[in-house]
Structures are given as structure tokens and as C-alpha cells.
Amino acid sequence: MAAPGVSDAFQAFLTEAPDHARAWLGGVQGLEGASALDPKTAALAYLAVLAALGLTGGVPFHAREAKRAGASRDEVKSAVLLGLPATGMRAIQALPEALAAFDAAD
């Protein structure tokens, strides 16, 4: 079972391939450090990308991250639906998961 807020697939990645996971997470941290975006904007943008690509496994975690960074429920909703014109219905698949995770986050 995955840690709270982490998909089973990502938990398997962390557990079964720890060297790869450390390398990958190092790259992620480097990209975060190089970004000119503030944490809230970056969290919302990342959520929009996940929704547009249909990668819903990470949506709950990143919706909670957006809330922790100060995003409102409406901002999370708008981020998820940002790709609607380009991706159509794919973007709305992430909406229930994002809002449920946002509402459940402390």
C-alpha cells in the first residue's frame, strides 16, 4: 500500500528502484530550484500539466501540494480545467480526484 497521497505506482518506484528514484528526485529538485515560479504558481501549473496529459495518478498528491502552497479550491479547479480547450474531456478526468484531495487535505 502506498503512503498517504502517493500513488501505488510511485510508491513501487520508490521501493523497488530506490537508486533510480533518488536520481530522478534529484533532477526534480534541481528543476524546482531553477524555476522562476513561486511555489503556488508552480504547483498549479504542474497540476494543469498532469490533468492535460491524463496522468491522474499524481493528481491527488499535487492538489494537496497546491493547497499547502496557498492555492484556493477555485484555483485548483481552474488549473485542472486549464487544458480543456486543448485536450478536451481528458482534462476533466482529473477534476474529481483533485477536488476530493484538496477537500481532504489539512
SS3 47: helix
Clarify whether residues 67 and 27 are in a common domain: no
Clarify whether residues 45 and 28 are in a common domain: no
Q: Count of domains in the chain?
A: 2
Q: Whole domain around residue 11: which residue ranges? A: 1-34
| 23 pLDDT tier (thresholds 50, 70, 90) | very high
Clarify whether residues 24 and 61 are in a common domain: no
Specify the pLDDT at position 1.
47
Q: Which residue has 533532477 as its cell numbers? A: 27
Contact 2, 8 (CB under 8 A): yes
pLDDT digits (tens, 9 = 90+) for 27-67: 989 988 899 999 999 999 999 999 999 999 899 999 999 99
pLDDT at 3 over 80: no
Clarify whether residues 99 and 49 are in a common domain: yes
Clarify whether residues 87 and 51 are in a common domain: yes
